Structure 1
């Protein structure tokens, strides 16, 4: 992919910027950074090393890269960035990850709903937020519907899409759930990026064989045959866990089939006489992991810190080629390139929609009918149970013994000064990454 030259008239404010996967992708798509905010000290240092410069706000010059809790008004003041071209971020994933507890709105790390609220304050032309595949599951259909409806209230057209990194030239699967929202005049020109042709998909061996053979490893050709496949998802992990490794047990087995020992990260490539068998294979170095995460030749970036910290920064990042592809699609829409097509935000949770639209108590019978549920009793119970995880749902018995429901408050943090998120966040701040 060829990088576009950045244009200061198309600026991006990036929340929860991590170590810069999105930042590099957006730069290559033609966006100039106005602000990048990150909590983690190590990722912040990497961002600061790679993104230089200052911005002038209220006659005061400030660094483009800033560190802290992005929900703290002293760190990020949305009114200072009104009408920026793009508001973006990779808000924390643990609230939605399949491997975690999927606490969603009840997790102190959840900033997705809060980030959506910033749209009405910043009024960007476009919003892009990305998260893990877990957010696409039925468990979070009500959460997603809340987000879509809220953006519609702000006069934005929004859509979710599950994107696999391997479809954009990255040598691993890495599915990410991406939300793009645009003001109505621009949304008509937005089109999701097309996957690369099958013959342009990159395998693990294609991406890192030069690095694997840098010391003249004699068994490199045999390894290349085993590793000539798309890899499983790199897992960066968090501060709550131990040292660097490539993921849970199933991922380790998948890496072993590619001739990679996933039990840790190596300091160097294999020596000349290292053996491929009977071991699963060599460990990857951080440089190799970065290639597999999408920092391919031409995607220049310097990671700072110690080995485990560098690995986590890389492993938790949004692959730059995916950010670039989505960024270019947004840029084309902002420039009104291509043919305009009418767009509407799709529905994700019909039960939530009925409850929210009608406002008061809705009988179970009417709710199931209006939501067009196929198996009325079982499906309605399941959907109500899921909604209760993220929303207050009131229940009332009717005279005939049936139930009626009313949708109450959203439990997520959206900026409330008295929300319990603040206490939990401060208590666990040292473990949040």
Structure 2
């Protein structure tokens, strides 16, 4: 199945979608550092990026109509700064809002499906109308804003169009949901909104796949000792939270779900970067000095999923991307550890300084979460192909 990847960044969403069985006909990214990361891995013959048709270009100058009829999925993470809690909160007034370009790509390529990701902040109350505007544009991508029409005027016209029930043009059935990556086996509490649509003429029914992992299951494993035994943690070092104890008090059996994956699950086999020589052979695994804890920024404990990795508007926030040890001391996650938390493969090399690579990782979609959603989308599209062949 063929795809278009917009706003590819360092490749997290695209990697997951490729792992799910989609092959990109176009991969677009304008940021030179992100493109350098992808090119570096192409030079190193890393699959699947080695075969990606990467274009370093502004999406606003790209066209997609030549791919009409060939594309099964359009995907991407439009720049999230306009909606991020850590950003300037300008939404539609922010020139970095690229959702109009995502809609245009859908309008021109007419894919069978699309999948877009953005920060949870897009769903907060102050952006309610604009979030609805985004979704309605994706439902009716051919209902384009008129010259000099404001976005609120266009929203009103889309609402009238939607309620008229007379549309016969290109349209999509669209659903959106905030997902916590930890519930899908990602070792990070990362909440993001996903918007998925299927072309209306396909007649497909779809829902977001349910999570496979849970906090309850992790609490059970920690209180009962199986988690600690697996990691060979001495009993005197087993720190069980009051929260976990209270959860298990309410349970009479183990959860049918898998346990949330923790920072320890993700990075325990990596050596302590502070004890490594500078020339260590582990890619991107170098100690970064200067970490400090302050109120509200205390780092991620070893035995829970990490807090959300951040990119930051003005660089990496000092206390966000840190490991908090059992004794209360902190250090920054290395780039490799952060890549593990985002489920990038160990042979994937990030290009640039620590600050720059952490920005790439903070903006990325966890690879395994992207793969889980894209795999489910692909299975539904494949089922349609099977039905067509049988008929």
TM-score normalised according to structure 1 size: 0.60
1:234 equivalent to 2:309? Answer yes
After superposition, the CA RMSD in angstroms is 2.9
SS of 2:108 mapped into structure 1: helix
Q: Which residue matches 1:209?
A: 268
Query: Which aligned pairs between 1:177-196 and structure 2 lie closer than 5 A?
Result: 177-186=193-202, 188-196=204-212
Query: Equivalent residues in 2 for 1:34-433 (5 A)?
Result: 34-51=25-42, 64-72=53-61, 76-83=62-69, 84-153=71-140, 154-186=170-202, 188-198=204-214, 199-213=258-272, 227-238=302-313, 241-242=314-315, 245=316, 247=317, 251=320, 255=322, 258-259=324-325, 277=327, 280-295=329-344, 300-336=347-383
- The offset of 1:117, in angstroms, is 2.7
* 93 and 201 in structure 1: CA distance in 2 versus 1, 3 angstrom threshold: same
1:15 corresponds in structure 2 to 6
Q: 1:14, 1:37 within 8 Å by CA — same for their partners in 2? A: yes
Tell me the CA shift for residue 155 of structure 1. Answer: 1.3
Structure 2 portions without partners, runs of 5+: 46-50, 141-169, 215-257, 277-299
SS for the counterpart of 1:336 is: helix
CA–CA distance in structure 1, aligned partners of residues 366 and 30 of structure 2: 19
Q: Does the CA-based 8 Å contact 2:83-2:122 persist in structure 1?
A: yes
Contact 1:207–1:296 (CA<8 Å) still a contact in 2?
A: no
CA contact 1:91–1:112 (8 Å) conserved in 2: yes
Distance 1:108 1:25 in 2: 28
The alignment of Structure 1 onto Structure 2 pairs a total of residues equal to 285
- Whether the 8 Å CA contact 1:158–1:182 is kept in 2: the answer is yes
Alpha-carbon distance in 1 for matches of 2:200, 2:259: 34
Structure 1, residues 75-113: CA drift from partner, whole Å, max 9, x if none? x21112213111111110011112223111100100113
Q: Which has the larger radius of gyration?
A: 1
SS in 1 for 2:209: coil
The alpha carbon displacement at 1:284 in A equals: 1.7
Please give the alpha-carbon distance, in whole angstroms, between the structure 2 residues aligned to 1:214 and 1:90. Answer: 32
